[in-house]
Structure 1
Amino acid sequence: MLTLENLMVLLLFLAAGGWLWHNHGLREKALAKVKAHCAQLELELLDENVAFKRFAFVRDAKGQRRFARLYSFEFTVTGEQRHPGNVTQFGPHSVQIELAPYPFEIKTPQPTAEIIELSQWRQEHKKRQP
């Protein structure tokens, strides 16, 4: 027969299992946000993983302290060095993704116009004038 004590233990296990399931879903959301952020910056997310660091009370955009989950991850630019990153998550919402300083190339746009030497330009325009 089921006693009140057995029922309480069963409910405790069910609550713990539900909480673990919920946390796994939140970690997957954080991973999706980090993947999208790295793809936007043309970075490679290493190990395709975010690791839980700790729970903490962190200030949100309004300056209020809220319960948050902190995850860490590693990324690379060149494939040679690992750089750390962190993501702060309030519930299902990723709030802030922080990346450690990393080297990057400054991409200069290719010139779209043809470069003409001054002497060539003068010769062409000299012919046109009467």
Structure 2
Amino acid sequence: MLTLGNISVLMLLATAAAWLWHAHGLREKALARVKQHCARLELELLDDNVAFKRLAWVADAQGHKRLARVYGFEFTVTGEQRHPGTITQFGAHSAQIELAPYPFEIKPPQPTAEVIRLDEWRQSHQKWKQ
């Protein structure tokens, strides 16, 4: 027979399981957002993973303090060095992604391989001189 104490323990266990399931879904959303951000910046996300670091009171865009989950991850530019990063989430919404300073190279613009024939260029530009 179920007593009130047994029902309370079962409810507590069910609540904990639901909270863990929800937290796992939020972690997956954070991972997808970090993958998208790294791809846009041409960085490589190491270990294909984000790790829960802490719950913290963080100011949102309006300046109000809200409870947020902070996840950590590592990325690389060259494949030799690991650089840390964090993503802050208010529930299912990503607030910010912070990356540690990392080296990057500025790529010069690619030269065009268009061949211009001088006689054609002269003919097309002579009509502008007249």
> What TM-score range do you get, normalising by the shorter chain?
0.7 to 0.9
Deviation per residue, 1:36-64 (Å, 9 max, x gap): 00000000000000000000000000000
Counterpart amino acid of residue 29 in structure 2: K
Deviation at 1:113, TM superposition (A): 7.4
The 2-side partners of 1:79 and 1:111 are apart by 28
Residue 15 (structure 2) aligns with: 15
The 2-side partners of 1:108 and 1:21 are apart by 47
Deviation at 1:112, TM superposition (A): 3.0
Residue 94 (structure 1) aligns with: 94
The two structures have a TM-score, normalised by structure 1, of: 0.86
SS at match of 2:21: helix
Deviation at 1:108, TM superposition (A): 1.2
Residue pairs, 1:1-130, within 5 angstroms: 1-112=1-112
Deviation per residue, 1:63-100 (Å, 9 max, x gap): 00000000000000000000000000000011100000
The 2-side partners of 1:57 and 1:101 are apart by 24
SS at match of 2:62: coil
Count of matched residue positions in the alignment of Structure 1 and Structure 2: 118
The 1-side partners of 2:37 and 2:82 are apart by 17
